[in-house]
């Protein structure tokens, strides 16, 4: 006679159960990658619309990298070759990557998954966005690992992080073209804003004849001052900085790779007070000159003037510091980059 056993079911706490759904996958959009590649294979115009947005590295699936690389080679060949199922397959064979790309059968599948190239630019930007997310995750993971290394200098970590972020920005966030209509509208809007302003449209330099020519320093201006050594480039820039910061109350950032910040401010004090640089260097001042110094530097003390004398400052560091200053002081970014050259 068989005995019956009673089985008591165990109660499982689902909150403690780890399933694949709770795992994390890198940001990806494989289906969109397939749609973009398929559209490039069936539409003659599609490659030209996205070839400058994408590159082989942005694709998540390895086979897609080889396919896009072949398309890119055909597009940039001299003369440009047609891009379709047969030419891409032939290019993959020449590269020795046909099997790695999934063979001809996979190429056929890609063409069957898409009906048209509509919204291909939008889809391409999604692929690029996912790649940027993966890149940020990679950089962050490496940065976290380095932060636990006691031997790493913290400022080297900051420089590395900023450099890596800059590379991502420069490599992927490309500005597209604009139509004449949108540019004309922007220009008209700018002209209307200027017409409602009294005086100069830009930031006055304090030099009347120069301002008559430029109407003040304009947003995005790049001004190059070139002259032989000892001709007064630094004095000219300091005078402009003083006029803009003290008289105009506009923030000015001055980056010096030669003179120290104390030397520069001493030259400004000399200009502001009328005391000679020699007297200020020696500290040989009469009682009335001390009073003159204390009274006349008050406006300079309150001026929104920022001087950075970091040696060997790179363009990237200068850009990062300028952005921080704009962010901290909540001012519109009207940056006049002044580069002084000795001929």
On whether both 48 and 168 belong to a single domain, the answer is yes
250 lies in some domain: yes
On whether both 140 and 241 belong to a single domain, the answer is no
132 lies in some domain: yes
Could you report the per-residue pLDDT of 322-337, keeping only the tens digit for each? 777 776 765 544 444 4
Tokens of 216: 């003040």
- Check residue 71 and give its pLDDT: 94
147 lies in some domain: yes
198 lies in some domain: no
On whether both 155 and 39 belong to a single domain, the answer is yes
Yes or no: say if 218 and 278 are a contact pair by the CB < 8 Å rule. Answer: no
Dist. CA 250–CA 336, nearest whole Å: 12
On whether both 39 and 150 belong to a single domain, the answer is yes
Return the CATH number at 44: 1.10.860.10
Domain end among 134, 156, 172 = 172
179 lies in some domain: no
Q: Catalytic pick from 99, 167, 193, 258?
A: 258
On whether both 161 and 230 belong to a single domain, the answer is no
Could you report the per-residue pLDDT of 221-247, keeping only the tens digit for each? 788 888 888 888 888 888 888 888 888
Return the CATH number at 258: 3.40.50.300
Domain count, the chain: 2
- Check residue 9 and give its pLDDT: 59
On whether both 157 and 253 belong to a single domain, the answer is no
On whether both 254 and 132 belong to a single domain, the answer is no
On whether both 262 and 147 belong to a single domain, the answer is no
| Per-residue tens of pLDDT for the chain, all 343 residues | 555 656 555 555 555 555 555 567 889 999 999 999 999 999 988 888 888 888 899 999 999 999 999 999 998 887 878 899 999 999 999 999 999 999 999 999 999 988 888 889 899 999 999 999 998 998 888 889 888 888 888 888 888 888 888 777 776 655 556 778 888 888 888 888 777 777 777 888 888 888 888 888 887 778 888 888 888 888 888 888 888 888 888 888 888 888 888 888 888 888 888 888 788 887 778 888 888 888 888 888 888 888 888 887 777 677 777 777 776 765 544 444 444 444 4
55 lies in some domain: yes
- Check residue 341 and give its pLDDT: 45
5 lies in some domain: no
HSE-up of residue 50 (Cα within 13 Å, Cβ side): 31
178 lies in some domain: no
Domain, as residue range, for 75: 30-172
On whether both 37 and 153 belong to a single domain, the answer is yes
On whether both 153 and 255 belong to a single domain, the answer is no
On whether both 152 and 269 belong to a single domain, the answer is no
On whether both 38 and 163 belong to a single domain, the answer is yes
Active site residue 49: no
């Amino acid at each position: 006679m068989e005995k019956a056993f009673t089985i008591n079911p165990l109660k499982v706490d689902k909150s403690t159960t780890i399933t694949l759904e709770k795992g994390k996958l890198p940001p990806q959009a494989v289906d969109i990658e397939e749609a973009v590649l398929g559209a490039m294979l069936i539409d003659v115009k599609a490659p030209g619309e996205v070839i400058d947005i994408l590159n082989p590295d942005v694709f998540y699936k390895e086979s897609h990298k080889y396919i896009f690389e072949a398309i890119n080679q055909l597009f940039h060949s001299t003369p440009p070759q047609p891009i379709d199922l047969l030419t891409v397959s032939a290019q993959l064979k020449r590269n020795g990557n046909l099997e790695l790309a999934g063979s001809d059968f996979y190429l056929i599948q890609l063409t069957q998954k898409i009906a048209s190239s509509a919204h291909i630019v939008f889809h391409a930007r999604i692929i690029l966005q996912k790649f940027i997310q993966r890149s940020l995750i990679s950089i962050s993971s490496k940065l976290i690992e380095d932060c636990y290394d006691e031997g790493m200098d913290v400022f080297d970590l900051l420089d590395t992080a900023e450099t890596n972020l800059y590379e991502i920005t420069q490599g992927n966030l490309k500005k597209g073209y604009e139509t004449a209509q949108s540019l004309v509208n922007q220009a008209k809007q700018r002209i209307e804003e200027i017409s409602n302003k009294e005086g100069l449209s830009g930031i006055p330099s304090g030099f009347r004849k120069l301002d008559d020519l430029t109407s003040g320093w304009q947003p995005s201006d790049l001004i190059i001052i070139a002259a032989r050594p000892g001709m007064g480039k630094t004095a000219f820039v300091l005078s402009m900085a003083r006029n803009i910061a003290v008289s105009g109350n506009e923030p000015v950032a001055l980056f010096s790779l030669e003179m120290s910040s104390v030397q520069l401010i001493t030259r400004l004090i000399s200009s502001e007070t009328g005391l000679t640089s020699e007297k200020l260097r020696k500290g040989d001042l009469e009682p009335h000159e001390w009073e003159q110094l204390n009274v006349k530097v008050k406006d300079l003390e309150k001026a929104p003037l920022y001087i950075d004398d970091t040696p060997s400052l790179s363009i990237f560091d200068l850009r990062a510091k300028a952005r921080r200053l704009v962010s901290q002081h909540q001012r519109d970014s009207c940056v006049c980059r002044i580069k002084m050259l000795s001929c």
